[in-house]
């Protein structure tokens, strides 16, 4: 089944077309609003949805052109229905409903986080199920046991406060690096000395699978104060390396503990923070040492995109699941309740 995916849950607008084999994309277009929101130091919901309205038609057309196809050759439409910013979500959902009415194609509302989990299935080799997923994005940090991509999930652990991406973004803001700051910290950390500044090991000794990043954010603020303001030059690189290492060590400690507890030797990284270089390198190195497998979507498939939405939709559409034209966008939608209407 050839699926058109549409993603508009936050500040990225994306369309993609998934080949009928479900494992590779015919095209993928992502329009990022980073520059628009940079002026405000964070995403402004009203600005995001207005820009989505303006760009939806052009991004959709570009996606069809790149795939050298027409809407007639698409078998179904999958759209992110939540969670996310309600105004942003409504743009994609209503556009998808309009397309479905006009073309008589089946429609499916997709859970955004299920999309992130599906991103690993756009790569070769694909993970076998069950697997443990470390889902780390701007709004979520969770460990999940995935039995199948169509909704059989077990919650293993989650952050008790900030998400990992949020910790990156808030710290980047303190450093004057702008929004979103995860990728900036990643870049600067490459030439930094992680031992130069001290950051706490968060909940490291506890025998659970939960995370906490608020202490790290406070520590970052303290280090900056003691330094007499945001560090510059090599000091800044050292700060970023130390901060990033603290986040990565904590994420991997819990992820590998989850695999051990579940007796599953497969870890899938998902979400925007899974684009982080150190997280990827360390996960692979540790997996090799411990004889387990780690699956990393390409960086472009970790951050928000529509290929992952098309892929998540594909699983459910192939099973015959459909959404009605009464599909509603949901700002809040727990993953463990993900259904198709
Ligand atoms: O999954 P995503 O694109 O959007 C959400 O669903 O939230 O994740 C965005 C988050 C942001 O917090 C961003 O700073 C972070 O992913 N991020 C990174 C990197 N690239 C994006 N964090 C660390 N290192 C990166 N290279
Ligand atoms: Zn996301």
pLDDT at 336: 86
For the ranges 153-157, 305-309, 337-341, the lowest mean pLDDT is seen at 337-341
Provide CATH code, domain 125-296: 3.30.420.40
Band of residue 340 on the pLDDT scale cut at 50, 70, 90: very low
Residue 112 per-residue DSSP state: H
- Which residues hold their Cβ within 5 A of ligand 2, which is an ion? 137, 304
Task: Give the model confidence (pLDDT) of 291-330 as tens digits.
Answer: 999 999 999 999 999 999 999 999 999 999 999 999 999 9
Does 45 have pLDDT greater than 60? yes
Expressed in angstroms and rounded, the spacing between residue 164 Cα and the centre of ligand 2 is: 12
Compute the distance between CA of residue 99 and CA of residue 76 in angstroms, rounded to an integer: 10
Structure tokens at 110: 């997709």
CB 7 near ligand 1, within 6 Å: no
Mean pLDDT for the chain? 95
Expressed in angstroms and rounded, the spacing between residue 113 Cα and the centre of ligand 1 is: 13
* Segment 246-263 mean pLDDT: 97
What is the reported pTM? Answer: 0.96
| Residue 8 to residues 33, 56, 89, Cα–Cα distance (Å) | 11, 9, 6
pLDDT at 130: 98
pLDDT at 339: 59
pLDDT at 203: 64
Task: Give the model confidence (pLDDT) of 29-42 as tens digits.
Answer: 999 999 999 889 88
| Residue 125 to residues 176, 282, 291, 305, Cα–Cα distance (Å) | 40, 20, 17, 20
Residue with tokens 């004889």: 291
Q: Is the backbone of residue 237 left (phi > 0), alpha (psi -120 to 50) or beta?
A: alpha
CB 138 near ligand 1, within 6 Å: yes
pLDDT at 200: 87
Does 186 have pLDDT greater than 70? yes
Which atom of ligand 1 is found nearest the CA of 166?
12
Q: Do domains 3-118+303-337 and 125-296 have the same CATH topology?
A: yes
Domain spanning 3-118+303-337: CATH 2.60.300.12: no
> 101 and 28 in contact (C-beta within 8 Å)?
no
Sequence spans of domains, the chain: 3-118+303-337, 125-296
Q: Which residue of 141, 251, 272 sits with most ligand 1 atoms within 8 Å of its CB, as the best mutation to test the pocket? A: 272
Q: What is the CA radius of gyration of the chain?
A: 20
**pLDDT, greater one: 167 or 336:** 167
Band of residue 204 on the pLDDT scale cut at 50, 70, 90: low
Q: Is the backbone of residue 215 left (phi > 0), alpha (psi -120 to 50) or beta?
A: alpha
pLDDT at 216: 93
Expressed in angstroms and rounded, the spacing between residue 181 Cα and the centre of ligand 1 is: 8
Q: In this structure, which ligand is nearest to the CA of 274?
A: 1
């Amino acid at each position: 089944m050839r699926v058109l995916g549409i993603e508009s849950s936050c500040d990225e607008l994306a369309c993609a077309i998934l080949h009928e084999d479900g494992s590779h994309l015919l095209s993928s277009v992502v329009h990022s609003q980073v520059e628009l929101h940079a002026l405000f130091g964070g995403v402004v919901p009203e600005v995001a949805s207005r820009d989505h309205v303006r760009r939806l038609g052009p991004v959709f057309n570009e996606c069809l052109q790149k795939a050298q196809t027409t809407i007639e050759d698409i078998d179904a439409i999958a759209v992110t229905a939540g969670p996310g910013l309600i105004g942003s979500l409504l743009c994609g959902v209503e556009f998808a409903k309009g397309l479905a009415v006009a073309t008589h194609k089946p429609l499916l509302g997709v859970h955004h986080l299920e999309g992130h989990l599906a991103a690993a299935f756009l790569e070769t080799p694909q993970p076998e199920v069950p697997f443990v997923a470390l889902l780390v994005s701007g709004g979520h940090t969770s460990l999940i046991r995935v039995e199948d991509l169509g909704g059989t999930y077990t919650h293993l652990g989650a952050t008790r406060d900030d998400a990992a991406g949020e910790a990156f973004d808030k710290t980047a803001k303190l450093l004057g690096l702008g929004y979103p700051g995860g990728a900036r910290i990643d870049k600067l950390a490459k030439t930094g000395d992680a031992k130069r500044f001290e950051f706490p090991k968060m909940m490291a000794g506890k025998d659970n699978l939960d995370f906490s990043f608020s202490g790290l954010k406070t520590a970052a603020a303290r280090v900056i104060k003691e330094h007499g303001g945001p560090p510059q030059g090599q000091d800044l690189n050292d700060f970023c390396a130390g901060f990033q290492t603290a986040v990565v060590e904590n994420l991997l400690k819990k992820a590998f503990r989850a695999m051990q507890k579940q007796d599953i030797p497969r870890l899938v990284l998902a979400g925007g923070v899974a684009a982080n270089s150190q997280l990827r390198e360390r996960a692979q190195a540790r997996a090799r040492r411990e004889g387990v497998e780690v699956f990393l979507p390409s960086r472009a498939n970790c951050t928000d995109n529509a290929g992952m939405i098309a892929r998540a939709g594909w699983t459910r559409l192939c099973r015959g699941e459909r959404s009605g034209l009464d599909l509603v966008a949901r700002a809040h939608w727990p993953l463990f309740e993900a259904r198709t209407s």
